[in-house]
Amino acid sequence: MAVTMRELARLAGVTRPAVSAVFNNSTSIRVSPKTRQKILDLAASKNYVPNLAARQLKGYSSGLIGLISVPSYMGLVALLQAELITILQLQGMEVLTVHMRTAADLQKVLRDFRSRNVNGIIALSATSRIVQPDNDPIPLVYCSHTSHCGYDVGCDRRLGGYLAARHLLKHGRINPVFLGLDFGPSNRKKYEGMRGALKEAGLNPGKNHLLIAENGNFKEILAQLKKRRADALVCCNDFAAADMLKALLQNGVKVPDDIAMTGFDGYSFCNFTPVTLATVVQPIKEEAQCAADLLMRRIKEKLISEPFSNINLPPVFKPGGSCGCPEVARNVISGDAFIHL
């Protein structure tokens, strides 16, 4: 059974106004960071739910955040969405999640958010910039992996491509190929990072180092890799890498002896492929925390219209058997979808 604000204050050893100040982001009462975190932790453990209706009647903020996402089967976006909801709820906020399938739904969603007195919005993977009315804008943060319009918080994909290629070069590979299923903004940055590593190593990257296979045909890809004498493969994501690993092995190509390879993203299934996949792990938890903190600042400071922050958080390269590193024995079955380093 959920506790009341009065009971939460008693458990935390503070006054009721202090608890109220934490959940209303008020500065009228000074609450130390340690005490604030104690209150939030207790609230989470005791299932405390702020009374949004009462807060609005008293003139406080609604404590409601709108989250515009895409259908939850979209891999990393779903993981990022889950992290954001957890972080915002621990800060005493409620989250209203809307899955956008078409741009035509956007204005209806914004009207719904305003009717519910939403304090702020986080948009995941927006395909275009969200236009709000000048007389009633809502603080907004773009947190995206594949945004075509720009973003506030994201992963440094250029660095990820650089890290993957640099690691393969350290294993003596001199002719790596970047495999993309498209050449959109995200893959372009990964390839640029790979080019940077090649140039740094004194190699001259050219068209043979880029392979865009929009139809994903294994036979054509394998023929191109043979023609280009590729000795390494930087795949645009872990799904493509896992598929290519299977195709290579089925066609008698030894991994990593004949071709070393890496994925990109950091899904935990990389640990369970026939040869453990090396991959670039995206900083999902850090992205979610950064986006939530940025939104809270914009709400507090009433920053309605700001240029994109372009905060690029660094990914981490995780070695595996596929890149030429020793296989690491695993003794525990993972139930998580993502690699946590």
The 10s digit of each residue's pLDDT in 256-301 is 999 999 999 999 999 999 999 999 999 999 999 999 999 999 998 8
User: Span 195-203, mean pLDDT?
Assistant: 97
The span from the CA of 138 to the CA of 123, in Å, is: 12
Tokens of 246: 């299977």
pLDDT in tens, 85-123: 999 998 888 999 888 766 667 878 888 888 788 999 999
Contact 298, 309 (CB under 8 A): no
User: Span 64-82, mean pLDDT?
Assistant: 82
Give the torsion sign (CA, 71, 74, 78, 81).
negative
- 205 residue type, one letter: P
Q: For the stretch 294-307, what's the b/e string if a residue is b when 16 or more beta carbons lie within 10 angstroms of its beta carbon?
A: bbbebbeeeeeeee
- 136 residue type, one letter: D
User: Span 181-196, mean pLDDT?
Assistant: 95
* Residue 270 vs residue 334, higher pLDDT: 270
Tokens of 60: 């406080």
The span from the CA of 322 to the CA of 241, in Å, is: 10
The string of DSSP codes covering 172-183 is T---EEEEES--
HSE value, Cβ hemisphere, 13 Å, CA-based, for 291: 34
User: CA angle, 167 as apex, 175 and 209 as ends, to 5°?
Assistant: 25
- Predicted pLDDT of residue 338: 81
Count other Cβ atoms within 10 Å, centred on residue 98: 16
Contact 16, 6 (CB under 8 A): yes
Contact 71, 31 (CB under 8 A): no
HSE value, Cβ hemisphere, 13 Å, CA-based, for 51: 13
Mean pLDDT over the full length of the chain? 87
The span from the CA of 177 to the CA of 229, in Å, is: 9
pLDDT in tens, 127-186: 778 887 777 788 999 987 666 678 899 999 999 999 999 999 999 999 999 999 999 889
Tokens of 18: 């202090």
The string of DSSP codes covering 73-105 is TSTHHHHHHHHHHHHHHHTT-EEEEEE-SSGGG
The span from the first CA to the last CA of the chain, in angstroms, equals 35
User: CA angle, 131 as apex, 90 and 56 as ends, to 5°?
Assistant: 40
- Predicted pLDDT of residue 1: 53
On the question of pLDDT at 188 being above 80, the answer is yes
The span from the CA of 119 to the CA of 319, in Å, is: 42
- 201 residue type, one letter: A
Greatest mean pLDDT among 53-62, 94-103, 200-209: 200-209
Provide the β-strand partners of residue 64: 94
SS (H, E, C) 107-171: HHHHHHHHHCCCCEEEEECCCCCCCCCCCCCCCEEEECCCCCCCCCEEECHHHHHHHHHHHHHHC
Least confident range from 7-21, 67-81, 185-199, 243-257: namely 67-81
On the question of pLDDT at 315 being above 60, the answer is yes
The span from the CA of 315 to the CA of 280, in Å, is: 6
**How many residues in the chain?**
341
- Predicted pLDDT of residue 59: 39
